[in-house]
Chain A
Amino acid sequence: MESYGYVAPSSIAEVLAVLNESTSAGQMTQVLAGGSDVLVQMRMPNHQPRTIVDIKKLAETNRLEVSAEGIYIGAAVSSAVMNEHQGLRKAMPGLMEAGDLIGSTQVQGRATICGNLCNASPAGDSIPALIAAGGLCDIATASGTREMPVEDFVVGVGKNALQEGEFLLGVKFAMPKANTKDAYLRFTPRTEMDIAVAGVGVRVSVENGICTDARVSIGAVAPTALLVTSAADALIGSSLDEAALAAAGQACKDSASPISDKRGTAEYRQKVVAVLCKRAIAIAHKRALEN
């Protein structure tokens, strides 16, 4: 293929047909949502021309639903649109925090959390938050849709679990109960527009002062964001006291396998991820008590 092509199908079937035909013909495709990663990648030297498949014209990818039955965030919903949804802010403040940390106002006008997920950067801020919130990927396939927990979706640096011919339609969640709240914290050298040194997403449920359920996920400290069940285990059954938080922090530290780079050494990242874990739990705990 010598030049780029562009198609903007209006149905899932059409998208799947384009992906399937291109694969059969040995041609490359690139699914496009917000484009804040894709357009940058297209300008890389030696980037091979391909057919851009814009999925923003589908009704399904534009879904943004928050109801008692559950929450659905379509793959074409930008961070800005997501952040303006009051119901979503109330139900999943941690996920909103993560989305709000990705890029500038301008970038958030285009960028999507599903794109952040598909791009599969180890430091993608929304990924630990999506994992902590118990997100399920809604994947369009030739034989219908299939679901996959977010923690299984990212399989390596820049690699996701989508098979050829599939694309991500959106992410869905059960509606959190009032006593269940999430939080996301990351550390960056600057306060804005920077890439995480470490990030932690948490979600806790509190009943009569006791933590009855928890999810903890760490980012930027391993090739992929990880669900840390040992950290959750340290919290469940506790009153989220200092000892439980310290144990959860230690579990995050033990699960991390960070690299050293210009943003921080491996040792530093392990220390920071434990601190962020404790602070994020404290924030989520406070939120759960306020409701």
Chain B
Amino acid sequence: MARLHVESTINGEAQEFLCDANQSLLDVLRDELGLTGTKEGCGTGDCGACSVLVDGRLVCSCLMLGVEASGSEVETIEGIAGDEGLHPLQNAFLENAALQCGICTPGFIVASKALLEKHPNPDESTIRYWLAGNLCRCTGYDKIIRAVQDAAAKMSHPA
């Protein structure tokens, strides 16, 4: 079958791509568009490494077909940093050593960004529940939680 032509907005830019009907958004991002910041962990929606925002909604890109992104706005880890530099969450992850191997990190940062947009000052319990779908097998979660709290504090009271 002919490949499907899809138009969507990715990280603020209009994009067109061709994909197979059964190709996940994750595979489209990585293999068709070269946006390899989004990682594949499990491929079954359990680990959150492939987290992206679709029309502002946090989703696993492995649980969505590429063709379903037609007409949608997709934001990936590549779109998190602005022209002025790293996003406060990215800085906080660095400063708090909230990563080791880094495979889970893009998913955590995208998920945390969605969290802080909805809950600018989340308590620890809210952070832990929100991020329960993101698995990290290296650091343990405390440093990640602290990084999110740190970023939340800096974002609500910019220096």
Chain A residues in contact with chain B, CB under 8 A?
2-6, 8, 32, 34-36, 39-40, 42-43, 49, 52, 54, 56, 78, 80, 103-107, 109-110, 192-193
Contacts and interface: CB of A to CB of B under 8 A. Distances in A.
A35 B46 contact: no
Contacts of A2: 1
Contacts of B43: 43
Contacts of A42: 22
A35 B1 CA distance: 22
A220 to B, nearest CB: 19
Contacts of A80: 57
Query: Main SS of the interface on chain B?
Result: mixed
A106 B54 CA distance: 11
B65 A52 contact: yes
9 contacts: A35-B63, A39-B24, A39-B65, A40-B44, A56-B68, A105-B133, A106-B45, A109-B54, A193-B132
Contacts of B131: 105
Contacts of A36: 45, 63
A109 B57 contact: yes
Interface of B: 1, 4, 20-22, 24, 43-46, 48, 51, 54, 57-60, 62-65, 67-68, 70, 111, 114-115, 129-134
Contacts of B57: 78, 80, 109
Query: Main SS of the interface on chain A?
Result: loop
B21 A5 contact: yes
Contact of A105 (B21, B63, B130): B130
A10 to B, nearest CB: 12
Contacts of B20: 3-4
A8 B70 CA distance: 11
A174 B4 CA distance: 42
A107 B22 contact: no
A6 B2 CA distance: 11
B45 A4 contact: no
A35 B68 contact: yes
B117 to A, nearest CB: 12
Most buried by A among B20, B45, B58: B45
Contact of A106 (B21, B24, B48, B67): B48
Contact of A104 (B1, B48, B62): B48
Contacts of A5: 1, 21
Nearest to B53: A109
Contact of A103 (B24, B130, B133): B133
